[in-house]
Amino acid sequence: SLEANLKPLVQWLLDLGMDKSQAAKVIARFPPICGLSLEANLKPLVQWLLDLGLDKSQVAKSISRHPPICGYSLEAKLKPLVKWLSDQGLDKSQVVNAFAGQAQICSLSLEDNLEPKVHLLGARGFSQTDIARTLATCPQILGHSLERMRYRIGVMEAAGLLT
């Protein structure tokens, strides 16, 4: 029943460090969370995020800011994203910061979204070090559309801010 699933879920969210308002928003923004198993899905996700290096408050913040993270596969989505970020030159603390501050990047496709954006930066003269620095200090750039990135880079080039 909904009550049998909902009460433990709400308690788990509260135990994670959310207040009742945040827990309600998580459920309202991502209703499928009610169908996820605490033992098979949610607790392993939180443990993985903790093992990655996030602290409990960062995990709670990531889930409250982007509740769909709870439904992503560790093996098919989250672990490949961590590997990809590492492959771009981010160190472990930078990967943690990206997850903690911009959990919505987890929703983006590596092949269809993230790779083309990094390719654009490289094609516009960014070195691998520049790309890593950009992703580490401004991971939200990954959430911008390719068109927006092209436009902004063009404006910076026209102003002489990029060489």
Average pLDDT over residues 16-23: 96
* Tens-digit pLDDT profile for residues 92-106: 999 998 888 888 899
When the pLDDT of each residue in the chain is averaged and rounded to a whole number, the result is 92
- Whole-model pTM: value is 0.86
Sign of CA dihedral 39, 45, 51, 54: negative
Query: In this structure, how many other beta carbons lie within 10 angstroms of the beta carbon of residue 17?
Result: 16
Residue 162 pLDDT level (bands cut at 50, 70, 90): confident
Mean pLDDT of 20-30: 96
d(CA 91, CA 140): 17
The pLDDT of residue 161: 85
CA 84, CA 87: separation in Å to the nearest integer?
Answer: 5
| Residue 2: predicted pLDDT | 66
pLDDT of residue 163: 66
CA-based nearest residue to 58, from 118, 92, 121, 103: 103
d(CA 74, CA 86): 16
Q: Is 126 exposed, middle or buried (0-12, 13-18, 19+ CB in 10 A)?
A: middle
pLDDT for position 48 = 97
Residue at 83: amino acid letter: K
Rounded to an integer, the average pLDDT of 129-135 is: 92
Q: Buried b / exposed e across 65-99, counting CB within 10 Å, b at 16+? A: bbbbbbbbeeeebbeebbeebeebbbeeebbbbbb
**Model confidence over 40-65: pLDDT tens digits?**
999 999 999 999 999 999 999 999 99
CB atoms within 10 A of CB 52: 17
